[in-house]
Structure 1
């Protein structure tokens, strides 16, 4: 086989202009085409396969002229026998308890197959007749019939399927579409109207199925379906990709009509092989690489990059490791680089900007990769001004990002008074650090031994802080801001009183809370002043005069 392949390669090299300009047909009795396009090859045959894949070459068997003439004569003179016709009698019945379908299949040999189908759904008589026709077509398909004649005693259904009557109802149009789709699977089919007297067997089966009567005889196949054929969910269609025509050529030998695409697919085909309904790509290193679909690309990359054995590799190394694991898909480097870039952007967030409301102790926080004036201004605008309005006063430390020219000018435009903590008032500095310390401790507790990203855990920590009573006010920040306590997840798992009473008593309870909110805030303000006095008194004891 290598000698024949070498002969073809040498011919191509000597006659390269002709092979580039015209499609070439190679006549050979050897399985050269199968080896060059489908089978797995190794050694120098791989090199020759890739080289020949650049040309539009088609391999055909070489047959004797006399034998071909005899074959053509036999084809012209001998008419093939007609396929045997299956007769199918169908009928549908509908009543208050449901829908019943009766089908009787009669094989060319005279053997009868009886089928009773019950549908647990309220339908009209016409819909039941359509269901009977669909069941008959499905049964004929299952027994392997290619030519069928369907007999029904419904004038409306038979004439609508033939096109004599026009179907205007939306559901009837859906039935006609389903029948057309299923009928296209047969080489020949037709439907005929017969009198009711000639359709007694199917009529009896339909009535038995509709009335839920017990069918004791084993000659009848009984089935139950919960929904109508037109109401069944269509199976998800696979998205077409650039690999679809390549799979069609590798498996079935079909090429697209576009000549340029056909030539390109022929060049790519020697690199691929289809085994056990899975597409593989031949690797230069030897083993086959499994093709990964678009839906599975992210999982493969994330598992290699940040899974249990992940090392957070770079883009190029990540794509190479995916190949070593036995996977391949187009644009591997781009997808790997994009994932690494997202991961690095998330990992670069090392700072936390926190703002605390002086009275309610409500906290707003956002992770940042760097703390600059622009980032601080953007944070204040998005998390403070756009949510709660323009604040009266902003107290911060002496960092350059809080007292630069840009943020100072911005605060002056917004009429926001800026104040800065100093070494002269260390007790004030300590109060500003309490919230930061609580958030950091909560983050450490949630991340301990789990290896999670602290950015992803931050919203949960903020929610826990906002729903926890504070020492200074003895109220939760959520209740002080929104005049009611937040609904916790435990109240959903183990239903609380206010969840059970909603909505019958909710409006009344809410109105009472709004009437008492001013008193609640006054008590919180008194507690906060008392707490400040205790802190100041305790601090002054340790300060030398």
Structure 2
């Protein structure tokens, strides 16, 4: 008893331990105000606890099979698709028990109890439940396999493979090999090592055995084609160069009136030098000083059919350095497209720089080359300087205007950043090579749409370009075509 301020006594009851002493009610009473509103205007309110089950009300034996069956559905995702039948049954029990025992559903049912709602099961509920059960638990005639992709530092990628058709063991091995090589390309693996338990497949790929079966031969060709992509994943810069001659120009200092131009096909790096005369020795000296001494010996050199390149002396010079010479077609000199593009860039730059005195064009050559090397190219979305050295160049504008890169310069941090950039240069070149390939694909697609295919038959009359035959005099008024000629034989 507690004495109040007015002198009266009040009784207080301590309910602190009441919750611990009483059992927990999983089905609490509904809201009292809802029940009061529902009984307004009525003499009596009656309701039945449905959660207690049907045992509270005894059912007639004839009505027992009519009890409704509720179907709880669950769509399997990702790893759940690989569960065994037993695991899927256990998962079904867990999901069903969670949904039935949901307190949210209990609360909603209690609140909806005041309404006169009649629940009618779907007429095809049993059939639908049976159909879903059959579809979900039917074992298909599919073969399941697995493969593991592991990096040098121990990182593992596990992949489950399901074949929708019946195969032999060798076909399944080839399918797993093809998928694993595709995963290796997706993660940009450079030199993958494949381990398999089929000696026949290993012998096919290594070339020890010949694939005589047609199906095995098809699989082997697919694998060989994928393996060639690993050689192309890391492009080698400065391996293919194109070279051409520009001129004659107005005579500059030192009697210079020609420009020899060389461009790397991958990085788009341009080397150029002004010369007074075009001789084989001068071209070889330029190639030695500006290409080989700076970037190493290339594998391929693409040139036109001019006498300055196509002669025994220059061929011997390239053979001594193991450089493969490739000549453009006489009818299609634009095949050396990179050299043509570099020529156009240099000519446009000279026209902008040389305004008053045209004899000073040789002095503007180096600034133009600087601009070409530090300008982002559309096809590769990078600068030639970046692809060559792994970092962006510091241009004079950044020095005069104090760019953030200059303000934040710290020798130790800069050295660490350069080392990191050199480690990532292969990835930068790989991405540039991918973008360049995609650009070529789009250009080729656009060009092929405009090409009209034509076929020639034996006996047709055709004209031939004069510059291809090389016969007769050529001038401004000379016609471009000669003929007609009769087609004697079609080759393809």
What's the TM-score, normalizing by structure 2? Answer: 0.39
The structure in which a higher percent of residues are strand is 1
Q: What TM-score, normalized by structure 1, do the two folds share?
A: 0.36
Does 1 or 2 have the higher relative contact order (CA < 8 Å, sep 6+)? 1
Structure index of larger Rg: 2
